[in-house]
Amino acid sequence: MPNITFVHPDGRAQRIDASDGESAMQTATRHDVSGILAECGGNAMCATCHVYVDEGWLARPPAMGDDEDALLDGAAAERRANSRLSCQINLAADLDGLILNLPDRQL
Amino acid sequence: MSATSRIDSATPERSAPAGVPHLDVDPFSTEFFEDPHRIHDLLREAGPVVWLEKWAVYGVARYAEVHGVLNDPLTFCSSRGVGLSDFAKEKPWRPQSIILEADPPAHTRTRAVLAQVLSPTAMKGVREHFTAMATAKVDELLARGSFDAVADLAEAYPLSVFPDAMGLKQEGRENLLPYASLVFNAFGPPNQLRQKAIERSAPHQAYVAAQCQRENLTPGGFGACIHARADAGDITAEEAPLLVRSLLSAGLDTTVNGIGAAVYCLARFPDQLARLRSDPTLARNAFEEAIRFESPVQTFFRTTTREVELAGHRIGEGEKVLMFLGAANRDPRRWENPDRYDVTRRTSGHVGFGSGIHMCVGQLLARVEGEVMLAAIARKVASIEITGPVKRRYNNTLRGLESLPITISPA
Ligand code: HEM
Ligand code: FES
């Protein structure tokens, strides 16, 4: 079972267990991580599950789809080169230890 | 509820499947509209898949199966209609929707256009104005004190922002709510509600058809944005009016019933109004929770494209499957204290806006309207009291009220 870490804007790190086949967003909502809203429930339609992938992990998550790319332009917090929607990151075994930084806001 | 194998006389050619629990409840009856929760419970507890004798269709009412059907659009298709009528056998009552009643790949293209027109970026453009209008509406209602929360708030507020945002002319707007009511009744079976609505539909249909044309849409509105996408070559000039029609069909009465649901919740549960007042940033979630709790859009159908096994039951090709969104949103297998309206609940995953590829393309706009209205209430209103008889409005798909007399006091 992979585990992942969410780092809040104040620097607090929250390490949580993921279940196989889950997305990073699902793991976050299951553990009630406060910085992930996920209003659309993972359908890549709301951009309220925005994260910044930690530098060391940039190459690993699956490639970005067109929907995700377009939505990130409308995200509430600044879009950066390492911006992703956490509902589009499925937690395969090679993402064990993944670190995701939370933006200062989702709305 | 009986467990007989009676076959409804209206559909004698359909044989009732063995092994699936049979129920004789009618989800399109006034009895059901008045109290759906008891029957939802019956449907959920009867099994993961049920057979509804009255209309000879399958039904799913548990969260897992509703979510599963919504997310398997190739097996459970929309192009044969998302109402009871099967477009493979019956002519649609109006030209088929090219988004709601379409499957991939056709759906993918039209969907991309509306998703862009109603994107998070587009919402930034309307938010400020919608907020000002909500604040003014609440001030006006506070000055009146007592009013009908359906006509004067739940209807009046969306009517004060949505038609302008679309770019509609002033004349004829009184057709919008009757047209939407017709569309949502028409998803139901051929009962009186549907037949009556269709009989009276001609003037409303004529109005909507005309407003979908480019020359009737003000520049800058969502309608004009859709037509601009035809210039860009993403859709044809014939498709643009049909996509405008989708927003006129689905964009007004839904938010009326969503905002109505939220106000009704806050009126019934004063502790939740108090919680919201203590932290107005909960407004957005308070609206979302009202969508889960009341599910203003109660049901949609799908049609099977092949033989499929669903929760251990074999379902043949060409069968209609009715999804009870409202029952899934209160399934105790998925939700803790499902019958409690809780403005702090983690609502992510509810199916009030659907799920999967057809999940509401207007959800961001609905949330802006709901959030700014509830935020204005949170800041300005101290109490909401129900002061007269609460009347339900009957519609085959939409759940909401006809009348909600309330008195509010200023904070
Ligand atoms: C509280 C308000 C609303 C609720 C509860 C709601 C509910 C829904 C649901 C359940 C679906 C899924 C249909 C299906 O799976 O077959 C849907 C789709 C849709 N909604 Fe909404 N809706 C709301 C507001 C809006 C608004 C404001 C608009 C437009 C401005 C809109 C436009 C649409 C359209 C065009 C579709 C079809 C999407 C597709 O098939 O890809 N809705 N809505
Ligand atoms: S949960 Fe909505 S975009 Fe990820």
Q: Model confidence over B14-38: pLDDT tens digits?
A: 667 889 999 999 999 999 999 999 9
With an 8 Å Cβ cutoff, the interface of chain B facing chain A consists of: 115-116, 119-124, 284, 288, 346-351, 353, 355-356, 359, 361, 363-364, 367
Average pLDDT, integer, range B63-77: 98
Res A65 pLDDT > 80: yes
Residues of A in contact with B349 (CB under 8 A): 29, 38, 41-42
Q: Measured between alpha carbons, how far is B333 from B116 in angstroms, rounded to an integer? A: 35
Q: Model confidence over A69-97: pLDDT tens digits?
A: 999 999 999 999 999 999 999 998 889 99
Answer whether the bond into residue B389 is a cis peptide, omega within 30°: no
What is the nearest CA distance from A70 to chain B, expressed in angstroms? 8
Residues of A in contact with B115 (CB under 8 A): 45, 67, 70
| Rounded distance from Cα A38 to ligand 2 centre (Å) | 5
Q: Look at residue B14 in the predicted model and tell me its pLDDT.
A: 62
Q: Look at residue B337 in the predicted model and tell me its pLDDT.
A: 98
Residue with token string 């780092």: A7
SS3 state at B253: helix
Average pLDDT, integer, range B269-296: 98
Cα–Cα distances in angstroms (integers) from residue B227 to residues B98, B104, B244, in the given order: 15, 22, 8
CATH of domain A3-101: 3.10.20.30
Retrieve residue B408's tokens.
Answer: 């509010």
DSSP string, B93-156: SSSPPSSTT--TTHHHHHHHHHHHHTSHHHHHHHHHHHHHHHHHHHHHHHHH-EEEIIIIIIIH
| Conformation bin of residue B295: beta by default, left when phi > 0, alpha when psi is -120 to 50 | left
Chain-chain contact of B359 with A43 (C-beta, under 8 angstroms): yes
Q: Measured between alpha carbons, how far is B212 from B247 in angstroms, rounded to an integer? A: 10
Chain-chain contact of B284 with A107 (C-beta, under 8 angstroms): yes
Nearest to B56 by CA among B315, B327, B305: B315
| Rounded distance from Cα B360 to ligand 1 centre (Å) | 4
Half-sphere exposure of A94 (CA within 13 A, CB side): 7
- Predicted-complex ipTM score: 0.93
Q: Look at residue A101 in the predicted model and tell me its pLDDT.
A: 98
Q: Look at residue B138 in the predicted model and tell me its pLDDT.
A: 98
Query: Are residues B53 and B337 in contact, defined by beta-carbon separation less than 8 angstroms?
Result: no
Among candidates A38, A41, A74 on the partner chain, residue whose Cβ is nearest the Cβ of B121 = A74
Q: Look at residue A21 in the predicted model and tell me its pLDDT.
A: 85
Band of residue B12 on the pLDDT scale cut at 50, 70, 90: very low
Domain ranges of chain A: 3-101
| Rounded distance from Cα B62 to ligand 2 centre (Å) | 23
Q: Model confidence over B190-219: pLDDT tens digits?
A: 999 999 999 999 999 999 999 999 999 999
Res B47 pLDDT > 60: yes
Percent of chain B with pLDDT over 90: 95
Average of per-residue pLDDT values in chain B: 96
Residues of B in contact with A43 (CB under 8 A): 355-356, 359
CATH of domain B6-410: 1.10.630.10
Res B354 pLDDT > 60: yes
Band of residue B1 on the pLDDT scale cut at 50, 70, 90: very low
| Rounded distance from Cα B147 to ligand 2 centre (Å) | 38
Q: Look at residue B331 in the predicted model and tell me its pLDDT.
A: 98
Angle at A21 between CA A17 and CA A22, to 5 degrees: 55
Q: Model confidence over A34-46: pLDDT tens digits?
A: 999 999 999 999 9
Retrieve residue B406's tokens.
Answer: 């309330």
Query: At B28, which amino acid appears?
Result: F
Nearest to B402 by CA among B387, B411, B390, B410: B390
Chain-chain contact of B363 with A40 (C-beta, under 8 angstroms): yes
Q: Model confidence over B131-179: pLDDT tens digits?
A: 999 999 999 999 999 999 999 999 999 999 999 999 999 999 999 999 9
Band of residue A25 on the pLDDT scale cut at 50, 70, 90: very high
